[in-house]
Amino acid sequence: MNKGKVSVIILNWNGWKDTIECLESVYQNTYPNFEVIVVDNGSKDNSVEMIKKWADGTEKVSSSYFIYSAENKPIRYFEYSKEELNSEKYRETKKKFDQLPSGNKLFILKNDKNYGFAEGNNVAIRQVLKENTSDYLFLLNNDTFIPKDTISKFVGSYAGDKAIAIVGAKILNHSDKQFQDGAKYINLSSLNIKCINSTIPVFCDAISGCSFMIKIKQNLKVEPIFDKYYFCYYEDLDLCIKYIKYGYKILFNPNIAVFHKLSKSTGGDSNRSMFRLYYAWRNRLYFINKNSSVLNRYIYFLYFYIVYIPFVRIPASIFKYKSISELFIFFKAVKDFILYR
């Protein structure tokens, strides 16, 4: 099997307890050639220090998904800021760290503020592309767990088809192991997104951004950089659509299972948090404006402004959800899309 190098990128924002659980599962994986980059998005909860304590072996973690291992500790960590990436000191230290075994090194990249999911990950992705030593990017939410063979299964999914650019896993709830997310099919005319739990590998329009792998070698024509306007939500769908437009394939592999706690940094399991609603609506409008045909855009936005807002959204917020604040957030999202896209 191909043993190409995998760069695992995990974004942390005020969530070190989830992050060290995720890291513990990653460092117990059996794939032989990987590096892990934790990107801290300007956390205010002492996340970087707690992650370093876990790497030192002084902060243990317990989980029903794995048994904590003291044998792979301490893990040597290399801590650097976004501004230090172009320094000579960084380049010299990075060469030494690259020579260490995969399971004995951790890179901690500190962003100066919260850049969101899209640009937060982009900082690490750009550096990986610049160094040009990795074959795959594996983006993993910090509130996930992976079984020991997960990375191997992801890499193995590319065998036999050079057109596959992105591979996604079956996402299961961490609490009850029930299906949460899978293959997505997108109707760009109405922005109807259908998610299915296929029992066999299938090609689709998009997969869940909480755990997916991107092939970055073999002269791919698409740069795996998220559109930073999204901040969070829809950036994963947008990237998948971009790859498809260039003729590449998105593969959903249900034989890979990843366990997810579901949006811990944006309101937990509540689908109606104000933060989530704002970005979901603003980015929904931006996504269809960016990716649909001119005709589809006109039809969609005519329906949206003339029918949906007065006859669906306003009555629903007032009578169904009884939330004027939710209606205010909705109109703020629409206004910001119009003014700042």
Verify that 241 and 97 share a domain, yes or no.
yes
Whole-angstrom Cα distance, residue 36 to residue 19? 12
**pLDDT at residue 102 is higher than 80:** yes
The terminus-to-terminus CA distance of the chain in angstroms comes to 44
Residue predicted with more confidence, 190 or 246: 246
Q: What is the pTM of this model?
A: 0.94
Verify that 133 and 239 share a domain, yes or no.
yes
Verify that 202 and 326 share a domain, yes or no.
no
Verify that 184 and 153 share a domain, yes or no.
yes
Number of domains making up the chain: 2
In a domain, 72, yes or no: yes
Secondary element (H or E) of residue 340: helix 324-340
pLDDT digits (tens, 9 = 90+) for 206-215: 999 999 999 9
| pLDDT at position 269 | 46
Query: Among 266, 291, 315, where does a domain finish?
Result: 266
**Are 341 and 289 a contacting pair, CB within 8 Å?**
yes
In a domain, 309, yes or no: yes
Burial of 100 from C-beta contacts in 10 A (0-12 / 13-18 / 19+): middle
- By residue range, what is the domain housing residue 335? 274-340
Half-sphere exposure of 157 (CA within 13 A, CB side): 29
In a domain, 1, yes or no: no
Query: Among 247, 266, 285, where does a domain finish?
Result: 266
Verify that 242 and 304 share a domain, yes or no.
no
Could you give the percent of the chain with pLDDT greater than 90? 87
In a domain, 101, yes or no: yes
Average pLDDT rounded to a whole number, residues 119-144: 96
DSSP 149-212: THHHHHHHTTTT-TTEEEEEEEEEETTT--EEE-EEEEETTTTEEEEE--SS-EEESB--TTEE
Structure tokens at 57: 């072996």
| pLDDT at position 263 | 60
| pLDDT at position 190 | 76
**Are 7 and 75 a contacting pair, CB within 8 Å?**
no
Nearest to 153 by CA among 256, 238, 12, 291: 256
Verify that 70 and 46 share a domain, yes or no.
yes
In a domain, 21, yes or no: yes
Q: What is the CATH number of the domain that holds 126?
A: 3.90.550.10
pLDDT digits (tens, 9 = 90+) for 172-205: 999 899 999 999 999 987 778 999 999 999 999 9
In a domain, 173, yes or no: yes
Whole-angstrom Cα distance, residue 253 to residue 268? 26
Verify that 262 and 278 share a domain, yes or no.
no
Mean pLDDT of the chain: 93
Query: Among 266, 291, 310, where does a domain finish?
Result: 266
Q: Going by C-beta distance under 8 Å and a sequence separation of 6 or more, which residues neighbour residue 175?
A: 261
Verify that 76 and 109 share a domain, yes or no.
yes
Verify that 17 and 130 share a domain, yes or no.
yes
Percentage helix, strand, coil for the chain under 3-state DSSP, each rounded to 5: 40, 25, 35
Verify that 233 and 302 share a domain, yes or no.
no
DSSP 45-106: SSHHHHHHHHHHTSS----SS----STT-PPEEEEEEGGGGGSHHHHHHHHHHHTS-GGGEE
pLDDT digits (tens, 9 = 90+) for 24-76: 999 999 999 999 999 999 999 999 999 999 999 999 998 888 899 999 999 99
Verify that 280 and 253 share a domain, yes or no.
no
Verify that 219 and 150 share a domain, yes or no.
yes
